[in-house]
Structure 1
Amino acid sequence: MPRFLVIQSARLGDLVQTRRLLLTLAERGETHLAVDTGLVPLARVLYPFARLHALPLYTRDAAAAARQAGEVLHAWHELDFTAVYNCNFSSAGTSLCRLFAPELVHGYRPGSGGPERSPWARRAFRMTEHRACGSLNLVDYWGHFAPDPIAPERVNPPAAGGGAGLGVVLAGRESRRSLPVPLLARIVRTLHDLMGGPRVRLLGSAQERPVARRLLRELPARMLGNVEDLSGKTDLPALVEAVRGLDRLVTPDTGIMHLAAALGVPVLAFFLSSAYAHETGPYGVGHTVVQADIPCVPCLESAPCPRGVSCLRPFEDERLPGALVGLLQGRADAAGSRLPDGLQVWTSGLDALGCVLRLAAGRDAQAGLRRAARQELAAWLGLTLPDMPDGVPRADAAAEETVRRWLRADSDWMLPPRRYS
């Protein structure tokens, strides 16, 4: 039986977004998954079929980390892996791959000048130089590390409310990507009333407890009896149960957002700053994203913002709650007429390549280039995309030529291998 190893050296959201790759491999052989020690309990819940290997990626105890890593490498040395999938461009994960023959490693492997990308990773990654025109979800980027991955509709269930109320993710790791508390409170009040006064669960780590306290002060007294503050009170398996069955989750780009999508919970996400819905939006059918749309978005998370986080200003427009009401009631015209300038609303769906966002309100100046990029990536994988719905611009010849110039190199004339070696 083939035996596969997936190395996922990033954090919670990335572990969930490796889902298409892992589900694909599980149908083909014995699947092993290496993750940070702290994520093992969640990985056990999400991927019960996988044999887990705990990596000490974020510990400060160097001696203990060396011992634990040594035990993991010894175990790998005894296993005969058919293929190894390293998901991250990092020195830690790539160094681990030195244990394996280079031809067995897909994604990122050691090279003479540092980590090298395999052909699909190299081609798809070129779009990061033109992020505003991108349309490849990270789930599908990793999913296509394996040839012929499972169909996109088999990754996450369609979004459907489960009767457990409204979930609110308080903040993400990067403050620039999260909504300020007064604005978040206004949105929560609007949704709470629109949904008929459901239970509300506040979700986050212990670091978000101060945010929860500020949010509770902003909410009207009539709501407080319905609000349960779970910030810092759930371990990872308990977080799964807190999210499971919600009618909707309000969130920035976070790991909890990806967890909700994996559980079939409808997501209403707000993306700004370095967060870009076409890259890391919720995966599957039935999710909604409000995306900042100004010239500097998406930006680089590691660089300071020279514009005072100007991408936040459209979200603070008083018209946004009314636009959300129209949107969630299925009145696209009402949502579009009230949507502030500088925002887009996208709904999630699927095609042959994977998850794709479709514009529900706002304007998309990059639609032609976005479509051309998706067509080019799909063609390289031997996939055919369906015709776009009425009203969606097709990629014209100029856009297609521009994208070919971005994505192709002289060494890329050959299609990727379709079988395991």
Structure 2
Amino acid sequence: MAAFLVLQAARFGDLVQSKRLIRTLESRGRVHLGIEAGLAPLARLLYPAAEIHALHLHAQPQYQALKHNREILAQWQATDFQAVYNCNFSGMTTALCRCFEPELVHGYRPAPGGILRSAWARKAFRLSERRAVSPLNLVDFWAHFADSPVAADQVNPQARPGGQGLGVVLAGRESRRSLPVPVLAAVLETAFKALDGPPVRLLGSKAEQAAARKLLRLLPLRIQERTRDLSGKTDWPGLVDAVRGLDALITPDTGIMHLAAHLGVPVLAFFLSSASAHETGPYGRGHFIWQAARACAPCLESAPCPHATACLAPFRQSELLRSLATCLRGETGSQAPLPDDLQLWQSDLDALGCVLRLQAGSDPQARQRAAVRAALTEFLRLPKAAGDVFDAAALQTESAPAPAVPDDWLCQDLDWMLPPGRYC
């Protein structure tokens, strides 16, 4: 049986978002998955057919990490891998790839003087320069490290209520990307009413326990009595059990959001600041995302905000709550208007992968984003189907600016010299 190695050294959400690539390789042979040791229990739950290699990658000097990993490296050298997929632009994972012949490594591989990116990986770096028009979900970026990945509809289940109540993720890793507790309280109260008073589960790490207590104090007694605070109280299996079967999950851009999509739980996501739903939104059909759409968004996560997080303002307005209630009642055909600088998207799938369809608000970048998506699809030699976003209304909106995809930006001559994903 063919053997494949996937290196994914990033966080919780990135592990879940590697699913399309891993499912593709599982259809062709045995998958070995190299990840940070702390995520190994979760990886075994997500990918039970894979052989998990728990690596020491973070929180210690690189020479110590490599020393700890020597036994695993010896196992890899004794395995006849057909291909190695390095998902991270990382000195550590690239160093691990030095035990393989260079032609085996896809994505990012070691080279004299640094890290060599494949033609496909170089495109993602160009997209990061113009994130407002980037249409590529991270799941699909990693999936296309392999030729002909499995169809997008084979990745996650259709989002459907499971009868187990409402989940609320208290905050993400970056506070600027999360709703403040008073805003979250109003969102939760609206969803609780729209769903006729379901049980509620508060989800997060120990770091969110103070936020959970503050949230509970702001909620009416009838909601408090139906709420379980699970923040900091679940291990990986407990978290999976807490999310599985929910009717909906209220969340910022978090790993728990991707776990919910993995399980087919409908996601109600709120994206602002540096979070872009087109890049890291929930994968699959039937999820809803409210996206801040200021001219400065999405911003750089590591840079301070010069506008006092002005993108949060639309989430404080009553129009958002009416829009949320409309979605939960299944009345998406009659969406309430949204405040300026706010969009509502619903997730869908096309030939390239996950795509977002605008349900409310305006999208000045529609035609540009559709043109970029068409260029990516052409580069990958994917078939265009009727209804794909690059064939539909996004390219026909007269009020939107004309597409501008400079040849010297996204598609350089060098990219076409070898098949997608190869090095040149």
In structure 2, what is the equivalent of residue 307 of structure 1? 307
Q: Is the 8 A contact 2:118 2:421 kept in 1?
A: no
SS in 1 for 2:33: strand
In structure 2, what is the equivalent of residue 416 of structure 1? 419
Q: Is the 8 A contact 2:120 2:421 kept in 1?
A: no
Distance apart, 1:237 and its partner CA = 1.5
The letter of the residue matching 2:372 is: A
Q: Which moved more, 1:77-86 or 1:34-43?
A: 77-86
SS in 1 for 2:305: coil
Alignment of 1:208-223 (within 5 A): 208-223=208-223
Runs of at least 5 residues in structure 1 that lack an aligned partner in the other structure: none
Q: Is the 8 A contact 1:164 1:199 kept in 2?
A: yes
Q: Deviations over 1:323-360 (max 9, x none)?
A: 221233333465342x1111000000000100000000
In structure 1, what is the equivalent of residue 346 of structure 2? 347
In structure 1, what is the equivalent of residue 225 of structure 2? 225
Alignment of 1:116-195 (within 5 A): 116-195=116-195
Q: Is the 8 A contact 1:148 1:418 kept in 2?
A: no
Query: Taking structure 1 as reference, are residues 380 and 153 closer, same or farther at Cα in structure 2, changes over 3 Å only?
Result: same
Query: Taking structure 1 as reference, are residues 294 and 417 closer, same or farther at Cα in structure 2, changes over 3 Å only?
Result: closer
SS in 1 for 2:394: coil
Query: Taking structure 1 as reference, are residues 360 and 170 closer, same or farther at Cα in structure 2, changes over 3 Å only?
Result: same
State the alpha-carbon separation in 2 of the partners of residues 296 and 401 from structure 1: 19
Query: Taking structure 1 as reference, are residues 363 and 89 closer, same or farther at Cα in structure 2, changes over 3 Å only?
Result: same
Q: Is the 8 A contact 2:144 2:421 kept in 1?
A: no
Query: Taking structure 1 as reference, are residues 401 and 390 closer, same or farther at Cα in structure 2, changes over 3 Å only?
Result: closer
Query: Is 1:369 the equivalent of 2:372?
Result: no
SS in 1 for 2:409: helix
Q: Deviations over 1:269-294 (max 9, x none)?
A: 00000000000000000000000000
Identity score, percent:
58
In structure 2, what is the equivalent of residue 84 of structure 1? 84
Distance apart, 1:62 and its partner CA = 7.2
Query: Is 1:317 the equivalent of 2:317?
Result: yes
Distance apart, 1:81 and its partner CA = 1.1
The letter of the residue matching 1:199 is: P
Query: Is 1:258 the equivalent of 2:258?
Result: yes
Distance apart, 1:391 and its partner CA = 4.3
Distance apart, 1:205 and its partner CA = 0.5
State the alpha-carbon separation in 2 of the partners of residues 350 and 140 from structure 1: 11
State the alpha-carbon separation in 2 of the partners of residues 349 and 356 from structure 1: 5
Distance apart, 1:163 and its partner CA = 0.5
In structure 1, what is the equivalent of residue 407 of structure 2? 404
Q: Is the 8 A contact 1:381 1:415 kept in 2?
A: no
Distance apart, 1:401 and its partner CA = 5.6
Q: Is the 8 A contact 1:373 1:403 kept in 2?
A: no
Distance apart, 1:181 and its partner CA = 0.1
In structure 2, what is the equivalent of residue 12 of structure 1? 12
The letter of the residue matching 2:368 is: L
The letter of the residue matching 2:262 is: A
Query: Taking structure 1 as reference, are residues 96 and 226 closer, same or farther at Cα in structure 2, changes over 3 Å only?
Result: same
SS in 1 for 2:395: coil
Report the TM-score when normalising by structure 1: 0.95
In structure 2, what is the equivalent of residue 243 of structure 1? 243
Q: Deviations over 1:211-250 (max 9, x none)?
A: 1001001111111110000000001121011100000000
State the alpha-carbon separation in 2 of the partners of residues 415 and 332 from structure 1: 44
In structure 1, what is the equivalent of residue 331 of structure 2? 331
Q: Is the 8 A contact 1:325 1:335 kept in 2?
A: no
State the alpha-carbon separation in 1 of the partners of residues 397 and 88 from structure 2: 31
The letter of the residue matching 1:364 is: D
Q: Deviations over 1:110-134 (max 9, x none)?
A: 1223212111111233111110001
Query: Is 1:44 the equivalent of 2:44?
Result: yes
State the alpha-carbon separation in 2 of the partners of residues 123 and 72 from structure 1: 32
In structure 1, what is the equivalent of residue 275 of structure 2? 275
State the alpha-carbon separation in 2 of the partners of residues 360 and 280 from structure 1: 18
What count of residue pairs does the alignment treat as equivalent? 419
Distance apart, 1:91 and its partner CA = 1.1
Q: Is the 8 A contact 2:172 2:178 kept in 1?
A: yes
Report the TM-score when normalising by structure 2: 0.94
The letter of the residue matching 1:51 is: E
Distance apart, 1:72 and its partner CA = 1.4
Query: Taking structure 1 as reference, are residues 222 and 65 closer, same or farther at Cα in structure 2, changes over 3 Å only?
Result: same
State the alpha-carbon separation in 1 of the partners of residues 276 and 174 from structure 2: 13
The letter of the residue matching 1:412 is: D
Distance apart, 1:80 and its partner CA = 1.6
Distance apart, 1:393 and its partner CA = 3.2
Runs of at least 5 residues in structure 2 that lack an aligned partner in the other structure: none
Q: Is the 8 A contact 1:82 1:104 kept in 2?
A: yes
**Superposition misfits of 4+ residues, deviation over 6 angstroms:** 61-64
Q: Is the 8 A contact 1:285 1:348 kept in 2?
A: yes
Q: Deviations over 1:351-378 (max 9, x none)?
A: 0100000000000000001000100001
